[in-house]
């Protein structure tokens, strides 16, 4: 049935004309079609062009609707890149689940593993970890290769992992003798790696509740725990502390000192100097990653980018900018963020 539907597309001159124009690198506008026909055409273009495709929608609701429409034409669901809320307020505990899903999808997109990626304007436009940083902070474990344990644990800590006695959730690792357990956001289950000296001897996934190994693995990918990792500052935690110290000094030299902001910066600085977790590290994203980057920077150069309802996207962009501006104004007045670090979209 599916093959018949795609065969019908090839008999439509409008479709074949658009396909040929895209092959030549031209921009194409397709208008006046229903939603189900839109999904049919998009799936057909993906099959024929054999290149990554990014579908940009105005919001999450439109993204979910498009994903549902595409199900009848694809072997696997097209993933939707989730948005996330920046943690700029003080908080005791913060869930990183949305960030981890984002990093996993962004990594796969950059690696060319995602045939069709759906994004909302919000998920596309929000500042994130630059692709070069994600690539450098990620690594693979392969059986038969050597990994000095001190270097390995240092990389895990810099990527935001916390050491514990028993791994139960993403972002944790445990080391017992020559056995290293890691729960990477790249995987649905944690991995147990057994070493003989520095050589990785065996490896397999295990159930975090029963701690029983259930599937062998030859190679696994380890990703950072979240999008804003202080340890990934170009000069490490020490470099971030230096930058915050300079920021405090500049604030104190002002004629009208913003005392609430100085208090916030000083408190955060003390956390970093004492290797304590700071859930509000998003405040310092511009210091940790001097290069501005969004999900758009992860889109492969050969990808076909589809703007689904361009006028709605323009409205979504304006609305998102206004909303972020109002939020940042409130935070600035409360002394919770520094004005020079507010470049988030």
pLDDT for position 188: 92
CB atoms within 10 A of CB 210: 8
Please list, in sequence order, all residues whose beta carbon lies within 8 angstroms of the beta carbon of residue 30, skipping any fewer than 6 positions away. Answer: 14, 18, 38, 41
The alpha carbon dihedral of 132, 135, 138, 144 has a sign of negative
197: left (phi over 0), alpha (psi -120 to 50) or beta: left
249 and 153 inside one domain: no
**Measured distance CA(45)–CA(93) in Å, rounded:** 44
**pLDDT attached to residue 90:** 86
CB 156 within 8 A of CB 222: yes
Alpha carbon of 171 to those of 17, 86, 250: distances in Å?
Answer: 49, 19, 35
The total number of structural domains that make up the chain: 3
- If asked whether residues 281 and 333 sit together in one domain, one would say no
117 and 193 fall within a common domain: no
SS (H, E, C) the chain: CHHHHHHHHCCCHHHHHHHHHHHCCCCCCCCCCCHHHHHHHHHHHHHHHCCCEEEEECCHHHHHHHHHHHHHHCCCCCCEECCCCCCCCCCCCCCCHHHHHHHHHHHHHHCCCCCEEEEEHHHHHCCCCCHHHHHHHCEEEECCCECCHHHHHHHHHHCCCEECCCCCCCCEEEEECCEEEECCCCCCCCEEEEEECCEEEEEEEECCCCCCEEEECCEEEECCCCCCCHHHCCCHHHHHHHHHHHHHHHHHCCCCCCHHHHHHHHHHHHHHHCCCCCCCHHHHHHHHCCCCCCHHHHCCCCCEEEECCHHHHHHHHHHHHHHHHHHHHHHHHHCCCCHHHCCCC
Residues 207 and 240 in one domain: no
Q: Are strands 53-57 and 116-120 parallel, antiparallel or unpaired?
A: parallel
In the prediction, which pLDDT does 93 show?
Answer: 75
Decide which of 222, 244, 261 is a domain's last residue.
222
From 222, 256, 274, the end of a domain falls on: 222
Chain centroid, CA 1 distance in Å: 36
Is 9 in the same domain as 111? Answer: yes
By C-alpha distance, which of 203, 158, 215 is closest to 179? 203
Q: What is the pLDDT of residue 106?
A: 97
Q: What is the pLDDT of residue 159?
A: 94
One domain, residues 53 and 79: yes
Q: Same domain for 7 and 52?
A: yes
Q: Alpha carbon of 41 to those of 136, 290, 345: distances in Å? A: 37, 40, 32
What pLDDT does residue 1 have? 62
- Is-contact 185 104, C-beta < 8 A? yes
Residues 303, 276 share a domain? no
Q: Are 213 and 181 in contact (CB under 8 A)?
A: no
CATH of the domain at 149: 3.30.2060.10
Show the tokens assigned to 318.
Answer: 């304006």
Q: Which pLDDT belongs to residue 202?
A: 96
Look at residues 192, 222, 252 and tell me which one is the last residue of a structural domain: 222
Please check whether residues 28 and 118 belong to one and the same domain. yes
Residue 24's CATH number = 3.40.50.300
Whether 101 and 211 map to the same domain: the answer is no
The verdict on 118 and 6 lying in the same domain is yes
Residues 10 and 42 in one domain: yes
Give the per-residue pLDDT at 11: 81
Residues with Cβ < 8 Å from 165, sequence gap 6 or more?
174
Domain that holds residue 217: 139-222
For 164, the token pair is 């514990």
pLDDT tens series, the chain, 345 aa = 677 777 878 888 888 888 999 999 888 888 877 777 888 889 999 999 999 999 999 999 999 999 999 998 888 899 999 999 999 998 877 888 899 999 999 999 999 999 999 999 999 999 999 999 999 999 999 999 999 999 999 999 999 999 999 999 999 999 999 999 999 999 999 999 999 999 999 999 999 999 899 899 999 999 999 999 999 999 999 999 999 999 999 999 999 999 999 999 999 999 999 999 999 999 999 999 999 999 999 999 999 999 998 899 999 999 999 999 999 999 999 999 999 999 888
């Amino acid at each position: 049935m599916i093959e018949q539907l795609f065969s019908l597309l090839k008999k439509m001159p409008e479709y074949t004309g658009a396909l040929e124009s895209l092959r030549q690198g031209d921009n194409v506008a397709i208008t006046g079609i229903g939603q189900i026909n839109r999904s049919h055409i998009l799936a057909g273009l993906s099959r024929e062009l054999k290149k990554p495709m990014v579908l940009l929608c105005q919001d999450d609701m439109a993204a979910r609707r498009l994903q549902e429409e595409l199900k009848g034409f694809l072997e696997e669901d097209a993933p939707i890149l989730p948005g996330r809320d920046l943690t700029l307020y003080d908080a005791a505990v913060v869930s990183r689940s949305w960030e981890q899903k984002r990093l996993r999808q962004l990594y796969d997109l950059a690696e060319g593993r995602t045939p069709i990626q759906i994004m909302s304007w919000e998920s596309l436009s929000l500042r994130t970890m630059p692709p070069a940083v994600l690539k450098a902070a990620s690594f693979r474990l392969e059986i038969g290769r050597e990994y000095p344990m001190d270097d390995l644990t240092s990389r895990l800590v810099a990527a935001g992992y916390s050491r514990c006695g028993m791994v139960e959730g993403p972002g944790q690792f445990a080391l017992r003798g020559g056995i290293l357990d890691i729960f990477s956001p790249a995987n649905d289950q944690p991995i147990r790696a057994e070493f003989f000296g520095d050589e990785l001897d065996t490896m397999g996934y295990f159930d975090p509740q029963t701690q029983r190994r259930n599937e062998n693995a030859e190679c696994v990918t380890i990703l950072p725990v979240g999008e804003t990792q202080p340890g990934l500052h170009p000069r490490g935690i020490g470099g971030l502390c230096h930058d915050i110290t300079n920021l405090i000094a500049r604030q104190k030299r002002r004629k009208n000192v913003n005392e609430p902001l100085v208090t916030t910066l000083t408190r955060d600085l003390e956390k970093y100097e004492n290797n304590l977790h700071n859930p509000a590290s998003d405040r310092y994203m511009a210091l940790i990653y001097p290069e501005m980057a969004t999900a758009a920077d992860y889109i492969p150069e050969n990808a076909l980018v589809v703007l689904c309802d361009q006028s709605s996207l323009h409205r979504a962009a304006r609305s998102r900018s206004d909303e972020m501006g109002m939020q940042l104004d409130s935070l600035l007045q409360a002394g919770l963020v520094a004005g020079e670090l507010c470049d988030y979209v």
